[in-house]
Amino acid sequence: MNKNLIAFLIVISLGVSGVVSAGPVARPAGFLVNGLQYEAGLASSAIAHKDVCSIAYGTADNNVGGDQQGNKHRIGGAPTAYCPLADGSFWVLDTLNQKAKHFAADGSLISSFAFPESSSEKFIYMEDMAMALAGDLYLYNAAQGIVSRVNEKGISQVQIEGLPDSREIGVDSKGNLLVANPVMQSLLRFNPAGELIERYDGQTFLSTVVDANDKPLGVKFNDVEAELFRADNASPTVTVSLAKFPLQLAKESKAHYVSAQLIGSDAKKNVYLQLIACDKKGVIHQYRVIRLSSEGKILGQADLLAIAFLYPRRKAITPDGKVFGFRSDKKSWFPITFALP
């Protein structure tokens, strides 16, 4: 993992406040918002989230697990992943309570099921999830390196083994499973029956986000530029550059990119790129999400007043193009959205 990104993740996870010296008096390097330090101009212009609903922490089916339960398994509390759906409902991986749960937009429980093979003696570390076709779900067991395709009742249909330390899973329009595995230096595609149908080798930057033609997309970046790529062929892998995104900040800010990540796609097959730039003190100068066409054309963008949360949790995209994440307090878990222009 990039050293700059590691430093940034430490900052956002702990909510560390950066300071700089001006003469004998130490002044804040930024404005503290949601536990993160923002450059003053960005703090005043970035968009805030909107709460979707509130779900109380606890062990009941209509709750989700929280920090008070998370110490034993050291997963940081709160669901580890979530999938927003077109009707406003969403699935969550309530890993602490060992269940997948489907909630309505108002936070009421629609359904739930226990993880396959989970028991009081066996804790299953489900890290990621993705929606398959016909209401099925793909669940990723990180500890054992297994992806299971299950139906809405949690009954296992297919298991794919041999995928330890995978970064993320996703699906294409045909319901095929994509698995990004940095250890193998590959992006793998499996059909719904669990058969390997494509392997993009030597490409650790490729994501599970695909374009309108189900071609995998990826992003590379350095301190001053990010670049979007598409993989046109597998075995051997052939990629083409689609667009570049230079960092457009004043040099005196001394900011640089610390993260460039594709975070999902919407129902119109637009894709969403997140670009984060910080200075050496950890002050955020850019926290931008860009809506792009499959060809890399910018369709909309905004900087976010983001909420810090721990890996493996990451943002998702709703079918209507909102950025989906969460915030929490000591009592409840709040799914949230950001609306891009």
Encode pLDDT of 151-177 as tens digits. 999 999 999 999 999 999 999 999 999
| pLDDT score of 8 more than 80 | no
pLDDT at 5: 44
Over range 60-80, report the average pLDDT: 83
For residue 287, the SS3 value is: strand
Over range 104-111, report the average pLDDT: 98
31-33 vs 322-328, strand pairing mode: unpaired
Using the structure block, give the residue that is written with the tokens 């976010």: 304
Residue 126's Cβ-side half-sphere holds a number of Cα atoms within 13 Å equal to 29
Between 21-30, 141-150, 159-168, 226-235, the lowest mean confidence (pLDDT) is in 21-30
Cα–Cα distance measured from residue 79 to residue 95, given in angstroms and rounded to the nearest whole number? 6
pLDDT at 253: 94
| pLDDT score of 14 more than 70 | no
Q: Which domains does the chain have, with CATH numbers?
A: 3-339 (2.120.10.30)
> Positive or negative CA dihedral for 284, 288, 289, 295?
negative
pLDDT at 72: 67
Spacing of C-alpha 212 from chain mean position = 20
